[in-house]
Amino acid sequence: MPQLFGIDLASVILGGATSALALGFRMVLIAPVKAATDQSMFIRYTSFLFPQKPFDGNWRVSWRVTSDRFMDLNVDEIRIFSVLKNVTFTTHTQLRDGSEEKCVLVGKLSGLDLTGRWYVPRDEGRGYFGVFQVRLHGTLRDGTGTWSGWTSDGKVQSNDISLKRL
């Protein structure tokens, strides 16, 4: 193969083509992957590929609300699923009337801050939905923060939320 100043041109061309191809794949795939990791089901079903501490194991989520339907303090045992710093978990909260309300939380970990959105899947975008932010403490075994969001009757509420690893 021809050489220029002692450099094998075939290796240079092959290396450049491989890099360009990899960059092209990455640029084409990055948007769909980012969009997918914003979806709870994608995170849940692919989390086994990316086991991520500190989110393995069981956790307890506690959150407060002023409501006729919910208890003042709601505590649920959850499993957190994570993919590439994106997380999701689902609560199953017992209401005052004895029925259960399911709520999905999807967020992203940035440093010690877990920030995201929550919604009720049976009524996504029309009923209960909002945002949350939890700051994990130094041990990464617990964190505290705030949730905020719309209620089904059009009011906005905010209150405390906390996570604790079991």
Residues 105 and 88: beta-carbon distance below 8 Å = yes
Q: Are residues 20 and 65 in the same domain?
A: no
Round to whole Å and give the CA distance between 30 and 44.
19
At 26-69, the pLDDT tens digits run: 555 555 555 555 567 788 777 777 767 777 779 999 999 988 88
The tokens for 57 are: 């194991």
Residue 74 counted as domain residue? yes
Higher pLDDT, 155 or 145: 145
Q: Are residues 93 and 137 in the same domain?
A: yes
pLDDT of residue 93: 92
pLDDT of residue 114: 94
At 128-141, the pLDDT tens digits run: 789 999 999 988 89
Count of domains observed in the chain? 2
Q: Are residues 9 and 67 in the same domain?
A: no
pLDDT of residue 78: 95
pLDDT of residue 43: 81
Report which DSSP code applies to 97: T
Q: Are residues 93 and 151 in the same domain?
A: yes
Residue 41 counted as domain residue? no
Q: Say what the pTM is.
A: 0.74
Q: Are residues 56 and 131 in the same domain?
A: yes
Model confidence at 125, pLDDT cuts 50, 70, 90, reads low
DSSP notation for 42-73: HHHHHGGGS--TTS-SEEEEEEE---SSS-SE
Model confidence at 151, pLDDT cuts 50, 70, 90, reads confident
Bridge partners (DSSP) of residue 103 are 91
Q: Are residues 25 and 105 in the same domain?
A: no
At 157-166, the pLDDT tens digits run: 999 999 999 9
Q: What is the mean pLDDT of the chain?
A: 82
Q: What is the domain extent for residue 32?
A: 3-36
pLDDT of residue 144: 98
Round to whole Å and give the CA distance between 77 and 93.
10
